Amino acid sequence: DQIFLVGAEWKGFEPQEKVNWYLTTKNLIQDLSQLKLNQAVVLLKGARRFSFESIAEILAEKGMKPFWK
């Protein structure tokens, strides 16, 4: 289990072993290639300003099947 937080408002969040903080979505995208997400379930939740759709596109390119509801 891992948690990825994006946005300046999370900067003061108490660091934990399985929590990764990124200032921007672009920073997270840069790390995606290094993350081991095999058979992971990924929940993308956030305001439109974070453009999480771009993360979903990259995950789909890696063979993950997005589920939209």
Q: Please name the helix (run of DSSP H) or strand (run of DSSP E) that holds residue 52, with its range, or none.
A: helix 52-61
Structure tokens that stand for 58 in this block: 């990259």
Mean predicted confidence (pLDDT) in 15-40 = 86
Give residue 67's pLDDT. 67
Residue 14 pLDDT level (bands cut at 50, 70, 90): confident
Q: Give the CA radius of gyration of the chain.
A: 12
The fraction of the chain above a pLDDT of 70, given in percent, is 94
